[in-house]
Every structure is written in structure tokens, then in C-alpha cells.
Amino acid sequence: MVDPNAIPESPVDEQPTIGLIGMGAMGRMYAKYLSDGGWKKIHVCDIPSKYEQLKEEYRDTPGITVVQDGHRVSRAADFIMYSVEAEYIDRVVAEYGPSTKVGAIVSGQTSVKAPEKEAFEKHLPEDVHIVSCHSLHGPTVSPHGQPLVLIQHRAPDWALALVEHIFAPLRSRYVYLSYTDHDLVTANTQAVTHAAFLSMGTAWASAKSYPWESAPYVGGIENVKVNIMLRIYSNMWHVYAGLAILNPSAGEMIGQYARSATELFKLMLGADEGALRERVYRARDQVFGGDYEETKTGDTPMANGKTRAPILLSEDILDRFSLAAPPSPTSTRPRSPKAKANSHLSLLAMVDCWAQLRIQPYTHLELAATPVFRMWIGVAEYLFRSPPRLSAALNAALYDVTHRSDDLEFVVAARGWAQCVRFGSFELYRERFEETAGFFAGRFEDATRVGGAMIKAIMESSSES
Ligand SMILES: NC(=O)C1=CN([C@@H]2O[C@H](COP(=O)(O)OP(=O)(O)OC[C@H]3O[C@@H](n4cnc5c(N)ncnc54)[C@H](OP(=O)(O)O)[C@@H]3O)[C@@H](O)[C@H]2O)C=CC1
Ligand SMILES: O=C(O)C(=O)Cc1ccc(O)cc1
């Protein structure tokens, strides 16, 4: 529960009025935690046509008052958070921003901050403060211990302290960034990671192949790839479109990912083993350090001379999180088709891309990683920190032609996503996203359950280490 005695020096009451504009997945998550945490004056709204339905839904929730629109929220609240689609932030702030109460603090939950900053600076009155935020996790992940970015943009220290206090019930880990650094970090971590998973999904859907039924993609780290891919496609397209298309740094990074996939694939096609190994090992040394073979435990050496334990769990444990059909009690067949070496083009391209862009993923991991980014580094280190695994992947990539058609689909998909982001078309993005999502939709429910349990197990094990 909130301790009113802990409220910092500020001109607002012990129980500030909190306003939430946009009651989609994130607005609802905040409403729940803030209400459970003991805040008693939370005014919320979505678009006016949802007023009656929202009012009914929150009738018995302590502390929550549903109002018709953002004007009513803005007039009453000491702290207001916009949780609307990034694409619409300018329009929504233009409409409600001028109604903001004098001296209030305004925040935004958008995943990309450049348009939010512009909208706030353009449409908010001079006499209100701006302290923005961004929870670096999806609405179904517990916020406890997850990074929550706070951006003290145009605000005195008491305003930042009050926002920290209001968000205390989330029990998140505050990360302090500027608007500009936020977009740089999330382009490195989220946008390019999503490009990899979106491309995997599109490649499998184009090949009309469910990966959990196909030998190279079953078991161990393949389960991580498949579960995260499905998790992304079961979320809302606009979240990914916004953070890729509207982030000024994301297009270049996603473009590099597609270039890395293309160039590596050409080396594979030409069976240019020397050049492929040279390029991949150089990227590995740059991203994971050069002394990987010396750590017998499989730990990763860090720039500060220490080592860190691997992010992922053992293959056997990861095997539990499969979407493949369980064996029947009488069956003598193995639980799933036997795994076979994979060329891992999506991962080779990721590490090459990090190296080309001089991105140090471990630096981001410590500071501001989403669960998805953490898993993705985990998968990459699992492959790259093991010389035999990496070598087997390179052999498969060069000499096992059965991977060629999937790798070709992957390159086409990665190029398509990069072009779509470069063109900046939300409509094209939506169509591409929904087409692939439609192919997998039948498994979203299972994927949410299995993927959620997998993320929980991995997060718990990495916080213990
Ligand atoms: N989902 C995620 O994993 C995360 C999302 N975010 C960010 O949070 C923001 C919200 O995302 P999320 O909650 O997932 O998306 P949702 O689509 O679930 O929620 C957005 C809500 O805002 C409503 N809205 C749009 N215009 C207005 C308006 N004028 N007045 C009031 N409400 C309005 C939308 O209505 P309608 O549907 O009718 O347009 C919708 O209900 C986005 O900017 C996203 O990038 C941040 C972290 C994680
Ligand atoms: O972890 C991820 O990358 C997700 O896919 C969930 C997500 C999406 C958007 C955000 O702004 C924050 C987290």
C-alpha cells in the first residue's frame, strides 16, 4: 500500500489525482497496479464511445473513476499519463493537452519518444511539467523488477520524485534517460530484435510451415525462438509499427540486419567457407569477447574482467516449453521430431549486425533490456559461446542444402520488413503483420501460456545468477 508519509515535497495532496488517457493493455495494467497499491483518485478514459462499457467494467474497482474523455482527465489530474498508439499521440495531445491543469505533470507511455516529445512541446501549456515514462515489458509480464524508464524532460526534481512515488506499486526498477537516449537504446534493443522475430514468422508463414512440426526448429533454443515469435505476433501490430517506423534511429538498424542476413546468405550460397567463418568469428569476438574458450563454465567474459552466467536454461529444461503435440501415453515415438543442426541464419545475422553497428548488447542488458531482448541475447550467446555449436551451424549453412529454402525465405522476409519500415507506411506494416499473424493465430493461446511460463522460468533463473 502507498505510504502517504513518504510523499516527497510537492505542491500536491497526499493523494494526488492520477489520470490515465487510453485504457488499452498498458493503461489497464497501470490502473490495476496503482489501484491495488492504494492510490484512491485515479481518473481514466478511453475514446468516448467506450465510456459506458469502461464504466461498467470498473464499477467495483477501488479508486478508479471512469470519465468520458481526456478533457475531463486533464482538468482534474495532478499527474496524467497518455497510453495511446504512438501514431496518434500528436492528435490526442493536441486535443486534450490544452485542458491540462496548471502545474500538473504529464507523461506518456509510448514506446517511441520522438513523436511524443514533439507533441508535448507543441501542444502542452507552458505551465505544466513533463516527466515521461516507458515500461520495458509487455502488459502481461509482471512489472516487478522490470526496467521502467523515467525521462525528466521539463520538470523540477520534486515532479520526478512524485512520479517515482506514484509508480512505486509497480515495484519496477527505474532507469533514468533523456528522450534522445531512450530512442537510441530502444532502436538497438527492441526495434532490431523485433525485426529478427518478425522475419522468422514471415519466413515460416511464407513456407507454410509450422516450426514446431519441423525438425530443425524443435527443442532447446528453437523453442525460445518460436515462443517469442508467437508472442510478438499475438501482440498488437501498432506497438511494433510505431516503435520501428517512428524511431529516427530504427530504420538504419533494421536495414543493417537485413543487409547482414543477405550478405551472409550470399557467402553460404557461394560455399565461401573462409570468408563466412572469418566474418562470423570476427563478429563473435567483437560482441562476446575473444577469450570465450577459456571459460570452462560457459560463462561470458565481460568488459570489466568479470564473467556472467549464461542467460538461458539448459536444453533439457527449454525442451519443456514446446508447442509440439505431447506424446500419447501409449506412443513409443519420441515426443517430437528429432532436432537437427540448423544454419541459424537469423542469429548469425543478428550478431553480425551488432558488430557492424558497434552495438554492445550486454551494456543494454544491464541497463534497459526488455524480456524479449534478454531472451534473444540468451539464444545468441548459447550458439556463439560454444565453438562446436557455432561450427556445426556454419557447416549446416554452407553444406546442408536442405536449409537453403528456409534461409532464402528468411532473407526475403528480412528485406521486406526493412523496406516496409523504410517506406514508413503503417498500412503496409499492418498488412504484413496481420498476414503472418493470421497463419499462426490458432496457436496464440497455447503460445501465451507456454511462452509466459518460459519467460518466467528464464527470468527467475537469470535473476538468481
Ligand atoms: N503493448 C505493449 O507491449 C507495450 C506498449 N507500450 C506503448 O503503450 C502505448 C499503448 O499501448 P497498448 O496499451 O498496448 O495499446 P492499446 O491499443 O491496447 O491501447 C491504446 C488505447 O488508447 C485508446 N485511444 C486512442 N485514442 C484515444 C483518445 N483520443 N482518447 C482516449 N483513448 C484513446 C485506444 O483506443 P482505440 O483502440 O479505439 O484506438 C486504445 O484503447 C503505445 O504507445 C505502446 O507503444 C509500451 C510498453 C509495452
Ligand atoms: O519485450 C518486447 O520487446 C516486447 O515485445 C514487449 C514490448 C513491446 C513494446 C514496448 O514498448 C515494450 C515491450
> Residues 106-117, buried b or exposed e (16+ Cβ, 10 A)?
bbbbbbbbbbbb
Q: pLDDT tens-digit profile of 433-454?
A: 999 999 999 989 888 888 888 8
Encode pLDDT of 11-32 as tens digits.
Answer: 666 899 999 999 999 999 999 9
Task: Classify residue 444 as exposed, middle or buried by CB count within 10 Å of its CB (0-12, 13-18, 19+).
Answer: middle
pLDDT at residue 224, rounded to an integer = 87
- Give the model's pLDDT for residue 427: 97
% of the chain at pLDDT higher than 70: 88
Give, as one character, the DSSP assignment of residue 88: G
Q: What residues does 76 pair with on adjacent strands?
A: none
Lowest mean pLDDT among 158-172, 283-297, 336-350: 283-297
Distance CA 230, CA 416 (A): 19
Mean pLDDT of the chain: 90
Q: Find out whether the beta carbon of 26 lies less than 6 Å from any atom of ligand 1.
A: yes
pLDDT confidence of residue 340:
67
pTM of the model: 0.91
Residue-wise pLDDT for 160-184, tens only, equals: 999 999 999 999 999 999 999 999 9
Return the C-alpha cell found at 462. 537469470
- Residue 36 cell numbers, joined: 491495488
The ligand placed nearest to the CA atom of residue 116 is 1
Asked if residue 60 has pLDDT above 90, the reply is: yes
**Least confident segment among 20-29, 82-91, 289-298:** 289-298
**Cα–Cα distance, 431 to 323 (Å, whole number):** 26
How much is the ipTM here? 0.99
Q: Is the pLDDT of residue 303 over 70?
A: no
- pLDDT tops 80 at residue 109: yes
Residue 107, beta-bridge partner list: 81
372 neighbors 231 (Cβ within 8 angstroms):
yes
CA nearest ligand 2 atom 5, residue:
232
Distance linking the first and last C-alpha atoms of the chain? 30
Reported as a pLDDT band with limits 50, 70 and 90, residue 321 is confident
Q: What pLDDT is stored for residue 294 in this prediction?
A: 47
**pLDDT at residue 7 tops 70:** no
Q: Which three cell numbers stand for residue 381?
A: 550467446
Amino acid 35: pLDDT: 97
| Mean pLDDT of the 396-418 span | 95
Cα torsion through 408, 413, 414, 418, rounded to 10: 140
Does the pLDDT at position 455 exceed 90?
Answer: no
Higher pLDDT, 318 or 388: 388
Query: Which ligand has the shortest distance to the CA of 81?
Result: 1
**188: number of Cβ within 10 Å:** 22
**Centre of ligand 2 from the C-alpha of residue 163, in Å:** 22
- pLDDT reported for residue 305: 60
Report the topology of domain 18-176. Answer: Rossmann fold (3.40.50)
| 79-83, 89-93, 212-216, 452-456: segment of lowest average pLDDT | 212-216
Give the confidence band of 325 by pLDDT, cuts at 50, 70, 90: low
Establish whether residue 51 lines the binding site of ligand 1, counting it when its CB lies within 6 angstroms of any ligand atom: no
Residue 141 CA: which ligand 2 atom is closest? 6
pLDDT for residue 77 is more than 70: yes
Which of 85-89, 213-217, 293-297 comes out lowest in average pLDDT?
A: 293-297
pLDDT (tens digit per residue) in 382-404: 899 989 999 999 999 999 998 89
74 C-alpha to ligand 2 centroid (Å)? 27
Residue that is written with C-alpha cell 489501484 in the block: 35
pLDDT score of 280 more than 50 = yes
The secondary element (H helix, E strand) that includes residue 454 is helix 444-464
460 pLDDT more than 80: no
Q: Domain extents for the chain?
A: 18-176, 181-462
Instruction: Provide DSSP, 118-165.
Output: HHHHHHS-TTSEEEEEEESS-TTS--TTSEEEEEEEE--HHHHHHHHH
* Mean pLDDT for the stretch of residues 318-345: 63
Q: Tell which residue, 431, 456, 385, has the closest CA to residue 227.
A: 456
Asked if residue 421 has pLDDT above 50, the reply is: yes
- CA dist 203 and 405 (Å) reads 10
92 lines ligand 1 (CB under 6 A): yes
168 in contact with ligand 1, CB cutoff 6 A: no
User: Is there an atom of ligand 2 within 6 Å of 190 CB?
Assistant: yes
What's the pLDDT score for residue 333? 41
Residue 168: count of CB within 10 angstroms of its CB:
18
